[in-house]
A and B are shown apart, each in its own frame.
Chain A
């Protein structure tokens, strides 16, 4: 049994390496999990759908955090991999006799993994290019990837449904439970509740996997590459190999997130996978906390709630309009808020929301002494 201990007080190497290294953390995580699992019983459906979206964003952002946060390779191309995942899932689950390409594989784990694997394959294809480039060259190339990828999504009409038309997203269905069917009126669970639980379950698996990757040999290699790639290479870390691994893992997460991202809405168009989506994921990682799993989830929740917060604002700030044709409106406010949050966090709290939590924790750890 792990001792109660204090944060960052480790009495054994095994404890230092453990997933939940103090008892307080163990209890804290358990409490958060319980609250998260009970959330659908306490919260209205319209808020639940936003929280569910936040959970999916968190899955994708965990992937970006692996490549950008842990391995230090700036990728602006995350939206492309999310798109690959979304289309793979839609094609695999799609109706074979329908208007668009479909294979008719209804079994959810199949298309979930398929989406991840195809996206991972794309990531592995791009990675060799990425390993030749460093720093900002890489950022620009991955930015190009978004545009080239979006061109293919626009162009391949049989698969994507084409620009501004789009196609149906894959419908999650497992063991006879149809997650997108609303049973609320006959006493069952509503669509939002079921989807939320599904997303939560997948996020927990993804987060534990990401945490385990980060504290394993691969994660240590990532950190070494991030901190100084030349030094890492001198110490025997195979740079090419680990950069390819980083991109592949990150794309896998992006693909899984993409396959789930539109299941609540049921329909998506190629326009979704633009540079703005990539920036959104970058914002999540930076606002949440670079190279932290808990921070990523916090950041994703904040970004997912941002539109809702913005829509509440006109009540307090009368000059903001909630109509898109008037300026300034809440949609512009939301965009500006992304920018302001990114800049403000990088300037004042580079460790993100995780850093804020860290400060709170440190304050109480040494209470009543402020040092």
Chain B
């Protein structure tokens, strides 16, 4: 039981990271109907930037500055490479984001360097022990920060004018434009939000370990999350993130007992396997809008 609870605690921490990333994917999807494959790069870039900033200005300011800076990078990318393509086939835009991902990721990766880098988080690998269950501080922190950000985001969409504009243009871009919504601003804000969220997620993904080039694989595992939750559902992204995170950690923890014949831990591909099963049953995810289209 303690093993299970420990895995769940770790899973919630991992799931919070997935939720942050997935929210970014969903926000961009809702505004442009495109999956941005550039999220992994923004996440890595955010973590690397924070690792450079935190020794001089402290961890929390570094995270804030890092998130804003990456949001700025995302804004520039959107303006330069994505905006000219609006209206073209979504697949073309998705491939452009793959190209951007490669560029940003390699440039950010070059700054990792040879020496082990850390984001300078205060938690490290400390943990509380509650009834034999170890709960890492960084997982609690990830969960709390994610909760705050999710509440702030939902409030942002609910009560601010630009949030209303984003909801309107997600429903129907032309109708929103006719009502005076600047759809271009909506695109820009959604990319900036996604970039900032990815940067924060990157910090938590990199906490408690040294930075390496493979950090971006975590962000790829957030793709099954949005498929599970439904591409256009913010709540689905959060819930799907937590579900996938817990499932992955539980499988990773029980790997030895459940699959004694397999050497490599199957936890790493659990998100993709869960995604395949869900898609076979519900092709539009748990909370996604079903497209009515019959052939």
Interface hits, A319-340 → B, CB 8 Å? 325, 327-329, 332, 335-336, 338-340
A147 contacts chain B at the CB level, 8 A cutoff = yes
State in angstroms the CA–CA spacing of A148 and B81 once bound together. Answer: 31
**Chain A residues in 8 Å Cβ range of B141:** none
**Chain B residues in 8 Å Cβ range of A155:** 262-264
- The residue in chain B whose Cβ has the minimal distance to the Cβ of A334 is B106
Stretch at the interface among A25-33, A94-102, A127-135, A254-262: A127-135
A284 contacts chain B at the CB level, 8 A cutoff = no
A249 contacts chain B at the CB level, 8 A cutoff = no
Contacting pair A148 B273 (CB below 8 A):
yes
Contact with A along B87-111 (1 / 0, CB 8 A): 0101110111011111100110111
Contacting pair A346 B96 (CB below 8 A):
yes
B1 contacts chain A at the CB level, 8 A cutoff = no
State in angstroms the CA–CA spacing of A8 and B67 once bound together. Answer: 53
Contacting pair B91 A132 (CB below 8 A):
no
State in angstroms the CA–CA spacing of A155 and B99 once bound together. Answer: 31
Contacting pair B295 A230 (CB below 8 A):
yes
A159 contacts chain B at the CB level, 8 A cutoff = no
B114 contacts chain A at the CB level, 8 A cutoff = yes
State in angstroms the CA–CA spacing of A336 and B240 once bound together. Answer: 33
State in angstroms the CA–CA spacing of A163 and B262 once bound together. Answer: 13
A313 contacts chain B at the CB level, 8 A cutoff = no
Stretch at the interface among A15-23, A83-91, A138-146: A138-146
Contacting pair A129 B99 (CB below 8 A):
no
Contacting pair A132 B279 (CB below 8 A):
yes
State in angstroms the CA–CA spacing of A325 and B113 once bound together. Answer: 8
**Chain A residues in 8 Å Cβ range of B34:** 136
**Chain B residues in 8 Å Cβ range of A157:** 263
- The residue in chain B whose Cβ has the minimal distance to the Cβ of A331 is B106
Contacting pair B272 A148 (CB below 8 A):
yes
Nearest chain A CB to B17 CB, angstrom units: 18
**Chain B residues in 8 Å Cβ range of A7:** none
State in angstroms the CA–CA spacing of A283 and B283 once bound together. Answer: 28
Contacting pair B98 A342 (CB below 8 A):
yes
Query: What are 26 A-B pairs with beta-carbon distances under 8 A?
Result: A72-B91, A129-B280, A132-B279, A132-B283, A136-B231, A137-B227, A137-B283, A140-B227, A141-B227, A141-B276, A141-B279, A144-B271, A144-B272, A145-B272, A148-B272, A151-B264, A157-B263, A239-B295, A282-B98, A327-B110, A327-B111, A336-B102, A339-B103, A341-B99, A342-B99, A343-B99
Q: Which residue numbers of A lie inside 8 Å of B, CB to CB?
A: 72, 74, 129, 132-133, 135-137, 139-141, 143-145, 147-148, 151, 154-155, 157, 163, 229-230, 233-234, 239, 275, 279, 282-283, 286, 325, 327-329, 332, 335-336, 338-343, 346-347, 350
